[in-house]
Amino acid sequence: MRTKLALAAAVAMVMAAPASAQEAVGDWAGVLGEGPTALRVVIHISRDAEGDLGGTLDSPDQNARGIALAEVVAGEGKLAFSVPAILGKYQATWDENAKLWTGTWEQNVGPSPLNLSAAPRPAPLPANWRASDDDIAKALDARIAPRTGQGMVAGVVEPEGRRVIARGPAASVTFDGTTLFEIGSISKVFTALILSDMVNKGQVALDDPAEKYLPAGHHMPGRNGRKITLKDLSMHMSGLPRLPDNMPMGDPEDPYADYSEALMLAFLDGYQLPRDIGEKYEYSNLGAGLLGYLLARAAGSDYETLLRERITGPLAMSDTAVTLSPAQAKRLAPAFDMYMRPAKPWLLPTLMGAGGIRSSADDMLKFAAAALDPQSPIGPAMKTALANRVDTGDPRFQQALGWQVGHPEEGREIVIHNGGTGGFRSALALEPAKQRGVVALANSGAEPSATDIALHVLVGAPVTATPPIPPAPPPPVVRTEVTLPAAELDRVVGRYELLPNLVMTVARRDEGLTAALTNAPTLPIFAEAPLSFFWKAVNAQVRFTTDESGKVTAAEFTQDGQHLTAKRLEP
């Protein structure tokens, strides 16, 4: 449902410039907009074995990478593609004299010029890099300078020892190695290591069907005789969506808090996989959270106990937990959203294995040191986790159990994961060959956040410039839900094309309706009048229009004041 250039970051590595400037295949760079709000854009276009074009978009200034392109068409001096995840599209013609694509980017509110030239080859990473404390402090200071209320903590573990550099948000607030942050999706690494430890001890197997550990009477979706395994869940190859479509999201600022075990089981019982298991990598918070739930059932325990017994206890990580004590809660950093407005901490009672852990830089350095040490209590689990890998479709990284494995340059490997909740960002990056690890923690959702700084400290990668905080959108209009007859709901069910390869699907569920954009979560929508519906989870509305006969023919979609018109597709 996002309409901005902002998605979770992957490992950053710019590919080589195209061999021939007249060929669309290659890497292209440009700048969208002007002044302090300008955004750098990098387009990677490739051709598969069947000759079809595809690619991804990076927005380095927002730490957003690997956003999939669709409908890529090139030939006779023309280039076009769409970017469904952010409701964008691009059309350009080749300028032979200037050696660039001269084109127009469209996203929500009209066209903007965007010219793309061959992306330069990245500068080699510095040899024998070791960031000084002053260098790290300057990077943190620059990142938080335009963000009133944000602080950051970075920690390094290396053969020379450990060090923590902290920058608090204001003179009245002090951050240090004991300040607690939500680490978001880095929790998936802990869940994967619990899985690996249980596998090594013969308590579960990677190829165990996930269904084996569900409560009696419930089942997992399958397809073509194949069942989802524990390994599929940890490697995001299950075919399950990023989020289930029955999340109530009663509080959009704490979206997982009211998602119960009963709702999750009901979703699994009724869900039909859209493709074969193992066919495609698709990052799934649902899959990772489900894995944590199943491992607890397999152990006859609960997730927090597994975390304590198998990882945090043996490593003496006393400040790493899902549930904080009153004393720890006082050390939790204040949270802010991407506009630096106060944000709520997140609760994930059912899917905590996907993103429910809190920790500190001191504790995360203990974890990083243990992950780098084959003889540590988690050393065998790390070996198992990294021994299992799949390709993701993005040549820049592979997916292991929990971890992502990137290659910043030939012959070099980084093990990484980052995380984000409503008011926190985090990144953990390791280079096992050099026995070095870095953690970066921030208390806001503003981008760029922690990943580029972690990679800078670890390998000397460039730090993204920090733009000003954009103006916050106007607060959502208070809307009143009404009950409509079933016939009024049925008449709007269908598929609506917003952009090429971007379709909004409206469907009946129980007594109401759901809506989903291509490659986005399915969420409930609520009626405020006949033909007019709204989302509670996001500030978005849709109003359906009819022809003279009363047949619904189109929809007007609005999010945060930005509009798209969609035509209704025939069944």
As a residue count, the chain comes to 571
* CA angle, residues 65, 69, 70, in degrees to nearest 5: 160
pLDDT for the residue 465: 85
Is 214 in the same domain as 294? yes
Residue numbers of the chain with a pLDDT score lower than 50: 1-21
**Inside any domain, residue 90:** yes
**Inside any domain, residue 282:** yes
Q: What angle separates helix 261-270 from helix 285-298, to the nearest 10 degrees?
A: 110
- SS3 state of residue 270: helix
What is the residue range of 59's domain? 26-118
pLDDT for the residue 110: 64
DSSP string, 150-194: --EEEEEEETTEEEEEEE-SBTTB---TT-EEE-GGGHHHHHHHH
Rg, C-alpha atoms of the chain = 24
Is 495 in the same domain as 440? no
Cα-to-chain-centroid distance, residue 459: 23
* CB-based burial, 305-333: b 16+ in 10 Å, e otherwise: ebbbebbbeebebebbbbeeeeebeebbb
DSSP string, 272-289: --SS-TTSS----HHHHH
The Cβ of residue 20 has, within 10 Å, a number of other Cβ atoms equal to 9
Condensed to tens digits (0 to 9), the pLDDT of residues 183-206 reads 999 999 999 999 999 999 999 999
pLDDT for the residue 119: 85
Is 231 in the same domain as 367? yes
Q: Residue 418 is which amino acid?
A: N
Is 214 in the same domain as 183? yes
d(CA 190, CA 115): 43
Is 439 in the same domain as 494? no
Number of domains in the chain: 3
What tokens were used for 297? 């059932």
**Inside any domain, residue 242:** yes
Condensed to tens digits (0 to 9), the pLDDT of residues 405-450 reads 998 888 899 999 999 999 999 999 999 999 999 999 999 999 889 9
Cα-to-chain-centroid distance, residue 384: 24
- SS3 state of residue 99: coil
Condensed to tens digits (0 to 9), the pLDDT of residues 318-358 reads 999 999 999 999 999 999 999 999 999 999 999 999 999 99
DSSP state of 260: -
pLDDT for the residue 15: 26
Is 452 in the same domain as 316? yes
Is 514 in the same domain as 394? no
d(CA 534, CA 347): 24
Pick from 118, 142, 169: which residue ends a domain? 118
- SS3 state of residue 133: helix
Is 107 in the same domain as 181? no
d(CA 427, CA 516): 29
Q: Hey, which residues does 566 pair with through a beta bridge?
A: 555
The CATH number assigned to the domain holding 377 equals: 3.40.710.10
The CATH number assigned to the domain holding 510 equals: 2.40.128.50
Pick from 118, 150, 165: which residue ends a domain? 118
d(CA 247, CA 259): 6
Bond preceding residue 448 cis, omega within 30 of 0: yes
- 489: which residues sit within 8 A by CB, 6+ positions away? 508, 512, 513, 527
pLDDT for the residue 3: 28
Is 195 in the same domain as 314? yes
